[in-house]
Structure 1
């Protein structure tokens, strides 16, 4: 930067010195003396220094230049040839200097404008103070100012009938206005450019930050994938093992006396183990918790209600289930699953659960509360684990919040709020989820029915509990979440409760499920009614809307910067206004140029000319929003104009603007097809111009002309190549300028494109890092977990074979079979918890990565005990 400015300063000062030396006029008056040209050169040389420092040290350079200018105005020549460079110095200090000091320099510029106007008015009208007159005396300004004529340089700025003093004052006023307006114009331009530079600098810093964080983000993505795997393994495998343990313990005692119950329990254990195997394959084969269609969601919550504990569920408001994102959909299901699991495992006998859902226009508030042992569950030596941590992570990952803890009067409560995705352009009318109370022992709904009243209040009906494929193993510590074995596909996940089957209860159920009477029909929420555009117009408006520009912090407070940033944000509006202005300016020239000459007919109607002008200039309104499409439209319209119209229009010069915009704002390789279109249109222009000299008004008439011989065609084509070559040179100059501007990174829209590309690449790298981490972990862990589950399956197969054998087994044999399965499940669960601890607490599970990035290790959140203590203190 300094080298460039120094060379430029030498060139500017050199040109001013050359102008001074080459001047024949040696009369260079000042306030005090007349000066020869050599003195003028000497005064101009020091300007090299501030000009060279104008960007790296803008404020000292500006004050230096102010001092030099004031010195030569008061002590030296009144004018020197480098004085116009003061505009450049003012512009530089306002653009590159401190923002808060801008008004200092604007004020200084105005003061220097007044000083310059006064000095110039004096030196133009009267002779220098120490100039020796012809009679040997010095200048008497009093006599000169009171005279009718001024003895100064010939040709004053304005004629005057008054005294020389009046003429000098008049000249000073005119000069002050001219210089002051110039300084104000430069100040506005500089402050405008400063605001643009602030946006560009903010975007550059943001892009540099994205690039600098790339390696860190990939490491974080790998560690986040470890946390996700640990969380999903907890939800899938650990809860399955807990289910197997609970089932085996129950079958060990009940199955010894009831072989049919033993057979059903053994089949349930095998089913759970097989389902866990399937979920493990999904876990390690697809990125993200919802990568496979088998993930459970909000619609699958009723499958968690079994006969083990009474569950009451109440829904208040209109359920916007379709507005839950994919991650939020599963997070709600896991929240309820974890809460019910913990209640069953730690609340004690006789506990009941109440699930309250409150749906508002923008969020779902859900509360799961029981009346069990609450905080007393920790007295049996139980320690909290990763279940509640995973619950917090899932809900917070979708922008929600969750809290959990014992109730004051006993029991435990989990409360969460999950935001809903907005539905732009549509009314918020959604299918209502009926409010239902699920209890044990009720076979049919109450007579009042189910659904929602007109006022949106919920109505409840007791329902028979839905037995799952097996009992749920529950853990308040969050160390084992059960799996329901009823995976929902993408369509079922969004289904309402009326979609649940009522005539096909799961195995182990004593009776069928009574469905709600009906589901509320889609109705708009009156309290949230808004006027929306029709969908086609809404989509068109979104498509045409300019992309938002992140302009960074707004440190500029002056109106110029605010206006500059507004125009930068609303570039589509500004381009549209520019296109409209061009249409108004070029309508009449277009009408005159399209006057049909003799042989072509009458003049075109004004309406046709106006439409033609609009069509040819309309693409320029989208030159930055849709740069390549705009350039393509201009290229096609230009070619059609040359093909059919009898005249090349003055407005066609703006086709170069579309060339520049397409290369600057379009894709990286847009210059290739733009160059091809430029060559075609330029050559067509050259041929059209050459043939016009022979009276042929368009390319179509040229193609249909019967008088052209082969030699005529060769001459036209070669002549067109020569004339079109000049247009090509101008077009390729625009392409080169656009490529240079693009490489500099000084345009906000170009930097925005780079930011989008960098973020997309960063996301790709994060996904890649997560995939690699999952594959590395899965290679060892999946085989180990699969072997554990396979051993359970083998043992259950042996138990089923024993139960289905010809000889009826004894109670001791059945108990022993279940005891073996339970023992295997307990040892596997203990080992699984060790693996989860390794994944979460160390961040690494193999020796090769041990000790890497210790500051980025994932540690579990505070334990439940510490959370309870903190709440008690608060």
Structure 2
């Protein structure tokens, strides 16, 4: 039994969301991130060389030490996403030394802003505030110490610092939002997958119960009826009761036709996947007389009492299947000439089902037969509608099955 299409698409949906995260947050693999950052550092270093050649009114051209410091800054920035705070601290030392040489002050602008953006987008807000305040404090202090003109120019640069910090904070918040959305979606998808698997397991269990109830009941009746026919044929061959033989064989044929019809309906459910259309109406309390007649044909004396009551379809179906399995066990295990009393009534907003026999066979002895699932199946059917079932031998002999099924069950799924 396959899982629903929605469940089979879980892997593709999760992969699509992971791709979304990678597009928004950057490459996921550490090696891929490092390679991307290295290419970015090369691009910024190239732009710094161009700036040195184009902008000549903002400091002297860098000397050997200046170019070495500028190169070191762009090498350090490669690890900005792995260790943003350490990279920022190292970069501040390098650039303070660089600016103290009065080299071109515009050249390291790109690498400085990239470092600030990374701190704001990847570190805690407290670290972002400390770094921003530290950078602006050092810059403003040095510039105003040189003069008011340089101080005024530094105020303009401060606007860029604040802008890149705010952009980084926005990216960090957006990253957290996207991550939380993806995690919630994946959790919801896992929940849907687990729910679908649970439904598949319940459907398999329901089909197993249906097949057990149908085949066990029908095969038991066929076995009893053929035994009757064989007994009639061998008991007194000279006085063969052809009418009794014909009746026994007709009963076998009728049982086979009924079993074939129910089996076809069950198989249609498996093939169509639309339970309501394929299964038709659930068996209910109105089908109990047919079960009693079938047991009578197998040689049991059945006394059936069904009180007038309005039971939900699922509760009626559970009662029908419980009585069916109980009568099957009686015919199979209780011995010949058995009397069975079946009573169905209501008490305390519940449907009470009771099947009692006075046979000498006692309880269905699973040890004397192949291990079966009859009593287990009856208890499961009772539980599916929120009910309980007790079964066991009676002190005075025979066997009793007693079920209490609420008329307002907690769960109506999984019954047939």
Give TM-score scaled by structure 1 length: 0.32
Could you say which residue in structure 1 is the equivalent of 2:219? 237
Q: Deviations over 1:691-726 (max 9, x none)?
A: xxxxxxxxxxxxxxxxxxxxxxxxxxxxxxxxxxxx
Q: Structure 1's 42 and 28: CA in aligned 2 closer, same or farther, altered over 3 A?
A: farther
Offset from partner CA, 1:595-621 (integer Å, 9 cap, x none): xxxxxxxxxxxxxxxxxxxxxxxxxxx
The reply on whether 1:301 has 2:280 as its aligned counterpart is no
Per-residue deviation, 1:234: 1.8
Q: Does 1:188 align with 2:173?
A: yes
Instruction: Provide structure 1 residue ranges, at least 5 long, that are not aligned to the other structure.
Output: 30-34, 52-60, 94-104, 128-140, 159-170, 424-493, 495-874
SS at match of 1:386: coil
User: Does 2:388 match 1:406?
Assistant: no
* Alignment deviations for residues 307-349 of structure 1 (CA, whole Å, 9 cap, x no partner): 7232323355x4223xx3xxx8755423212213434652885
* Residue 155 (1) aligns with residue 144 (2): no
Are 1:81 and 2:110 an aligned pair? yes
Is contact 2:307-2:345 (8 Å) kept?
Answer: yes
Change (3 A) 1:47 1:180: closer
Partner of 1:49: 79
- Asked whether 1:275 is paired with 2:257, we answer no
Does the CA contact (< 8 Å) of 2:218 and 2:256 recur in 1?
no
Tell me the equivalent position of 2:329. 342
Q: Quick check: 1:115 aligned with 2:131?
A: yes
More helix by share: 2
Separation of aligned partners in 2, 1:154 and 1:92: 28
Distance 1:240 1:87, change over 3 A: farther
Specify the alignment match of 1:18 in structure 2: 46
Distance 2:311 2:127 in 1: 70
Q: Which residue of 2 is the match for residue 415 of structure 1?
A: 403
The equivalent residue for 2:9 is: none
Alignment match, 2:70: 40
Q: Which secondary structure state, in structure 1, belongs to the residue aligned with residue 401 of structure 2? A: strand
Asked if the contact 1:126/1:151 (under 8 Å) is kept, the reply is: no
Native 8 Å contact 1:244 1:272 kept in 2: no
Find the aligned partners of 1:264 and 1:394 in 2 and give their Cα distance. 42
If asked which structure has higher relative contact order (CA below 8 Å, sep 6+), I would say: 1
**1:231, CA displacement in angstroms?**
5.4
- Aligned positions of 1:310-389 closer than 5 A: 310-314=303-307, 318-321=310-313, 324=314, 332-343=319-330, 346=334, 352-357=341-346, 365-370=351-356, 372=358, 376-377=362-363, 385-386=371-372, 388=374
Kept after mapping to 2: 8 A contact 1:113/1:176: no
Q: After TM superposition, list the pairs within 5 Å mapping 1:605-620 onto structure 2.
A: none
CA separation in 2, counterparts of 1:320 and 1:280? 25
Q: Distance in 2 between matches of 1:422 and 1:209?
A: 20
Aligned length: 344
Q: Look up the match of 2:182.
A: 197
Quote the Cα distance in structure 1 between the aligned partners of 2:170 and 2:344: 69
1:194 Cα deviation after fit: 0.9
Secondary structure of the equivalent of 1:310?
strand
Partners of 1:374 and 1:413 in 2: CA distance: 16
Structure 2 alignment gaps of length 5 or more? 1-26, 100-107, 271-277
Report the 3-state secondary structure (helix = DSSP H, G, I; strand = E; otherwise coil) of the residue aligned with 2:302.
coil
CA shift in 2, pair 1:351/1:200, >3 Å: closer
Change (3 A) 1:365 1:81: farther
Q: Specify whether residues 123 and 391 from structure 1 end up closer, same or farther in structure 2 by C-alpha distance, changes over 3 A only.
A: closer
TM normalised by structure 2 equals: 0.60
Q: CA RMSD in A?
A: 5.4
Q: 1:230: Cα distance to partner?
A: 5.8
Taking the aligned partners of 2:312 and 2:206, their CA distance within structure 1 comes to 30
Give the secondary-structure state (helix, strand or coil) at the position aligned to 2:267. Answer: coil
Instruction: Write out per-residue CA displacement over residues 747-777 of structure 1, whole angstroms, 9 at most, x where no aligned residue.
Output: xxxxxxxxxxxxxxxxxxxxxxxxxxxxxxx
Does the aligned pair in 2 maintain the 1:90–1:186 contact within 8 Å? Answer: no
Q: Tell me how far apart the structure 1 counterparts of residues 35 and 373 of structure 2 sit (CA, whole Å).
A: 69
1:165-184 equivalences in 2 (<5 Å): 181-184=166-169
In 1, Cα distance between the equivalents of 2:45 and 2:69?
Answer: 11
Specify the SS of the correspondent of 2:148.
Answer: coil
Deviates more, 1:411-420 or 1:235-244: 411-420
1:189 Cα deviation from its structure 2 partner: 0.7
Whole-Å separation in 2 of the counterparts to 1:393 and 1:378: 15
Distance 1:87 1:250, change over 3 A: farther
Deviation of residue 190 (structure 1)?
A: 1.4
Compute the displacement of 1:67 (Å). Answer: 0.3
Pair 286,369 (structure 1): closer, same or farther in 2 beyond 3 Å: closer
